[in-house]
Amino acid sequence: ELKHCILARFRADAGDWRAYLPEIREIFSAAGDIPGVRGAEVFPNCVDRDNRYDVLIRLDMDREALPLYDVSAMHHRWKDEFTPLLEKKAIFDHES
């Protein structure tokens, strides 16, 4: 099983990033609709330091599902709506 992790840090001028959590959770609530993807969880950062990311999104999927996730409407909605608000993002995949 693949864990696909997205770390996101919002731009300072994006406002309070916590206000975006409901929409982020709503977007990723559709993860289970993608074949081979079992679901997603959204974790807000709990330590307020300058060197931290704000949000971790973790998707649980079969390795073969990654290309389906990449082209999914859910993934494109996330990228289209949130990329302009992000200072940086990091992607990390691991197997469990």
Least Cα distance to 55 among 25, 12, 13 occurs for 25
User: Could you report the per-residue pLDDT of 21-67, keeping only the tens digit for each?
Assistant: 999 999 999 999 999 999 999 999 999 899 999 999 999 999 999 99
Q: What is the mean pLDDT of the chain?
A: 97
Q: Is the pLDDT of residue 85 over 90?
A: yes
91 bridge partner residues: 6
Distances in Å between the alpha carbon of 42 and those of 33, 38, 51, 60? Answer: 17, 14, 19, 12
The yes-or-no verdict on residue 96 having pLDDT over 90 is: no
